[in-house]
Amino acid sequence: MNTTDLIGKSIPRIDGPLKVTGEAKYSSDFQFPGMLFAVSVPATIANGEVSSIDTKLAKSLPGVREIFTSENMDKLYRSDGNHEARAPLEDQQISYWGQYVALAVADSIEAATAAAHAVQVTYKPSSVDVRNLNKAEIPNTGNGRGDPSTAFENSAVKLDEIYRTPTETHNPMELHATVAVYDAGTGYTVYETTQGVGGARGALSRQLGESGDRVRVITRFLGSGFGGKINTWPHAALTCMAAKVLGKPVQTVVTRKQEFECVGHRSATIQRVRIGASSDGKLQALLHDYASASAMDSGNGENCGEATWSFYGVPNLQVSGSVVHRNIGSPTAMRGPGAVPGVYATESAMDEMAIKLGLDPIQFRILNEPAVDPSNNQPFSSRHYLECLAIGAEKIGWHKRNPKPGTLHDGEELIGYGVGGGSWFAGRGGANVNVELHDDGTANVLCGTQDIGTGTYTIFAQIVSEKLGIPIHKIRVTIGDSNLPGGPMSGGSMVTATIIPATLDGVKQAITMLLSKATAMQGSPFSSEFNDSLKYENGMVTGGKKSIPFAEILKGMKMKSIVGEGHSGGNFGGGYSMHSYVAHFAVVGWTPSIARLRVKRVVSAIDGGRIINVKTGRNQILGAVIMGVGMALFEGTHYEKNYGAPINSNYADYLVPTHADAPKIDVHFLDHPDIHVNELGARGIGEIGLAGVAPAIGNAVYNATGKRVRSLPIRIEDLILP
Ligand code: MOS
């Protein structure tokens, strides 16, 4: 590919060949001579105390190096940036099933697994609380605007319903893993499955009691994370500790079963939504009150009101949230944290309300589109939600929908149409990006961020290729290392928006430096010219009638490379309300005779500013929509009520959509650059791909069947039983 007109195009991943050939190194692919393997011993109670740990048998097994318990391990400290408040193996208290009580380290994964099983632990159990959330736990005093209670009471048409979402487990294909190498001189090198090498470096250094410069975190490739890999989990610090004490590299790979126990999940929620409207469909009041389940010593939960504040033009609003505590592991961020379960409730309620009002659900939304952000009266930086609705409606064929449920047939199959909207705040953090020009005509871009799988490698290469006029195959991208100039964590749909200004600045700095060299170089054809009359264009420095490739200037200067250090600050609004928007449309089919429910089609109309790479962007939305099918119809982690163990803790029993469950998906990107966010107008799209899918499906199920299911996942039992 020789064109350098790449921004906004469908560009194949530059790391694609590495991935499909198996060359790409994920954390657990880093292997070292003499490396040991660690396997943790999980608690088999969910509440109580460890009374004794007998490691004699385990230690006697062949190949076993050490069994670490709170008695014989090196001290680990508490730290922010690790989702468990307590340090790993801090004391004998157990508050969830699967909490680590010991760590077995051996020469092979098999020996370590056998040793972990041979550790004999006795417990003093206490009674376990993993109850489902109940209505009494929903709060009713929160923040908001206007006088929501009075406005609701006085509304001509009212809706008051409860919606529930279950515990969901992230389940990225790549298991959480840590490979730690310790050197007494330089400290730790940690190959970690993290969405933020900088954050992980900080959290691990604090837990290990080391200064930050003695911990280096490397994440070259990540098999996704969905939020579950934003912060570090207990195995990471334990693995580092073991590597130091034993003087050998140590690897831990969390098992699939443990993914359900001790590395986070999306909290279950219970949400009460009250909507009051005038009889002509103008919203008067919206009250969104919710509780989510957290661990005993955690405050993490789902901030379900994330999108509620600004989405509709409603003068009277209440948002109240609380977390309640259960004997479960710590929850954490999962794609669209808060907003995704939140808009499930509010967008389902909007559908129910439209029906009460006798309005088309799209019309109802149009009637309540705000002119400015009603939460702060700020103008929107760029909001085209109504266009999302219009385009989505056209592409799905909304005119074919029959508002009367259970009336549209395709043979025996009942067909239903549904819509659900979503938003996610947009902005950007600060970042540092170095852009190097080399004397062989190549460029290298370096940043301490990482590619979660969304295409960050490619985005960097596209921008630098276009701005420097160097073909993309001559651009190297170096990311995934905490020693690099600090960059964003891969979360909150913010990497692309964040790296753009710093990358553009890096390019600018590199060019400025190059131009200054162009006149300084001995025998320079430009020496008689002034610096500011020189131009950099398409890889060449041009002045007067002469053009020289940048590589020649470096050679003339006897320099291997020059580096432009790019920096940018954050921007989280600055007087504008910044969000990405989406309208998802779903068509479902219900065949009563065989109790088959299918999502047949999804259309997603995305207002995400300028899309830098349409191919990787579309890829993100496809994955998110399938995740939404899982949320709507399949997913849910179940805790056994007496023991507190997640009982469907594997890919067979925790249902996710298979290929056969995937609908036909049509992704449409609106093209309205949001220049308030950054120079290229790019906003994030990771979270809005999911926000709104589940309610669109639920609303379509109602339209097909006449059954309103207010608790996810929607099961066929819900549709069959009276
Ligand atoms: Mo996302 S839940 O911010 O990784």
Distance 227 CA to ligand 1 centre (A): 4
* Average pLDDT value for residue range 122-141: 97
571 contacts: CB under 8 Å, gap ≥ 6: 427, 428, 676, 677, 678
- Burial (0-12, 13-18, 19+ Cβ within 10 Å), 642: exposed
Residue 721: pLDDT band with limits 50, 70, 90? confident
Residue 522: pLDDT band with limits 50, 70, 90? confident
Residue 308: pLDDT band with limits 50, 70, 90? very high
Residue 722: pLDDT band with limits 50, 70, 90? confident
Confidence at residue 83, expressed as pLDDT on a 0 to 100 scale: 78
Distance 267 CA to ligand 1 centre (A): 14
Confidence at residue 526, expressed as pLDDT on a 0 to 100 scale: 85
Confidence at residue 544, expressed as pLDDT on a 0 to 100 scale: 83
207 contacts: CB under 8 Å, gap ≥ 6: 76, 77, 78, 79, 82, 87, 88, 232, 237, 240
- Residue showing tokens 């200004």: 501
What atom in ligand 1 is closest to the CA of residue 228?
4
Confidence at residue 2, expressed as pLDDT on a 0 to 100 scale: 58
Helix (H, G, I), strand (E, B) or coil at 352: helix
Which residue among 168, 335, 454 has the greatest number of ligand 1 atoms within 8 angstroms of its CB, and so is best to mutate? 335
What gap in Å lies between CA 417 and CA 404, rounded to an integer?
Answer: 11
Express each pLDDT in 375-426 by its tens digit.
999 999 999 999 999 999 999 999 999 999 999 999 999 999 999 999 999 9
What gap in Å lies between CA 239 and CA 104, rounded to an integer?
Answer: 10
What atom in ligand 1 is closest to the CA of residue 225?
4
Nearest CA-CA partner of 310 in 229, 380, 240: 380
The CA–CA distances, whole Å, from 111 to 26, 33, 175 equal 23, 17, 20
Percent residues over pLDDT 70 in the chain: 99
Distance 684 CA to ligand 1 centre (A): 11
Distance 439 CA to ligand 1 centre (A): 39
DSSP assignment of 50-87: EEEEE-HHHHHSTTEEEEE-TTTSPP----TTBSSSSP
Confidence at residue 530, expressed as pLDDT on a 0 to 100 scale: 67
Distance 328 CA to ligand 1 centre (A): 21
Distance 226 CA to ligand 1 centre (A): 5
Residue type, 665: I
Residue 450: pLDDT band with limits 50, 70, 90? very high
Residue 523: pLDDT band with limits 50, 70, 90? confident
Query: What pTM did the predictor assign?
Result: 0.97
Which residues' Cβ are closer than 6 Å to ligand 1?
Answer: 195, 226-227, 230, 333-335, 337, 491-492
Nearest CA-CA partner of 266 in 342, 208, 206: 342
What atom in ligand 1 is closest to the CA of residue 336?
2
Confidence at residue 574, expressed as pLDDT on a 0 to 100 scale: 84
Confidence at residue 533, expressed as pLDDT on a 0 to 100 scale: 84
Percent residues over pLDDT 90 in the chain: 95
Average pLDDT in the chain: 96
The CA–CA distances, whole Å, from 55 to 63, 168, 240, 399 equal 14, 34, 21, 69
DSSP assignment of 541-559: EEETTEEEEHHHHHHHTT-
CA angle (655 as vertex; 652, 660 as ends), nearest 5: 100
The CA–CA distances, whole Å, from 142 to 9, 147, 302, 424, 523 equal 45, 12, 15, 21, 72
Distance 62 CA to ligand 1 centre (A): 42
What atom in ligand 1 is closest to the CA of residue 686?
1
What gap in Å lies between CA 637 and CA 633, rounded to an integer?
Answer: 13
Which residue among 83, 171, 230, 627 has the greatest number of ligand 1 atoms within 8 angstroms of its CB, and so is best to mutate? 230
190 contacts: CB under 8 Å, gap ≥ 6: 178, 179, 180, 181, 200, 201, 204, 215, 216, 217, 218, 236, 239, 240
What atom in ligand 1 is closest to the CA of residue 337?
2
Cβ atoms within 10 Å of 74's Cβ, excluding its own: 13
Which candidate in 394, 466, 687, 717 is catalytic? 687
Helix (H, G, I), strand (E, B) or coil at 314: coil
Question: 43 and 50 in contact (C-beta within 8 Å)?
Answer: yes
* pLDDT exceeds cutoff 80 at 113: yes
* pLDDT exceeds cutoff 60 at 194: yes
Q: What strands, in cross-sheet order, belong to the sheet with 475-479?
A: 475-479, 443-447, 431-438, 561-568
Express each pLDDT in 22-49 by its tens digit.
999 999 999 999 999 999 999 999 999 9
Confidence at residue 4, expressed as pLDDT on a 0 to 100 scale: 83
The CA–CA distances, whole Å, from 258 to 11, 39, 253, 280, 439 equal 37, 11, 10, 52, 49
Which residue among 451, 620, 687 has the greatest number of ligand 1 atoms within 8 angstroms of its CB, and so is best to mutate? 687
User: What is the number of residues in the chain?
Assistant: 722
Helix (H, G, I), strand (E, B) or coil at 114: helix
For residue 118 the two structure tokens come to 């041979």
Helices (H), 213-360: 234-246, 256-259, 308-311, 339-357
Express each pLDDT in 582-622 by its tens digit.
999 999 999 999 999 999 999 999 999 999 999 999 999 99
Residue type, 217: V
Residue 191: pLDDT band with limits 50, 70, 90? very high
The CA–CA distances, whole Å, from 12 to 222, 435, 458, 504 equal 18, 22, 8, 21
What gap in Å lies between CA 295 and CA 84, rounded to an integer?
Answer: 9
Nearest CA to ligand 1 atom 4: 227
What atom in ligand 1 is closest to the CA of residue 493?
3
Question: 374 and 266 in contact (C-beta within 8 Å)?
Answer: no
Distance 283 CA to ligand 1 centre (A): 31
Confidence at residue 84, expressed as pLDDT on a 0 to 100 scale: 85
Question: 369 and 313 in contact (C-beta within 8 Å)?
Answer: yes
What atom in ligand 1 is closest to the CA of residue 226?
4
Express each pLDDT in 539-567 by its tens digit.
999 988 889 999 999 999 999 999 999 99
Confidence at residue 528, expressed as pLDDT on a 0 to 100 scale: 67
For residue 162 the two structure tokens come to 């409860």
Confidence at residue 81, expressed as pLDDT on a 0 to 100 scale: 73
Helix (H, G, I), strand (E, B) or coil at 124: strand
Say whether 66 is catalytic: no
Confidence at residue 446, expressed as pLDDT on a 0 to 100 scale: 98
Question: 381 and 677 in contact (C-beta within 8 Å)?
Answer: yes
For residue 303 the two structure tokens come to 């901030």
The CA–CA distances, whole Å, from 346 to 9, 163, 164, 586, 718 equal 35, 9, 11, 17, 21
* pLDDT exceeds cutoff 60 at 1: no
599: left (phi over 0), alpha (psi -120 to 50) or beta: beta
* pLDDT exceeds cutoff 80 at 18: yes
Distance 713 CA to ligand 1 centre (A): 21
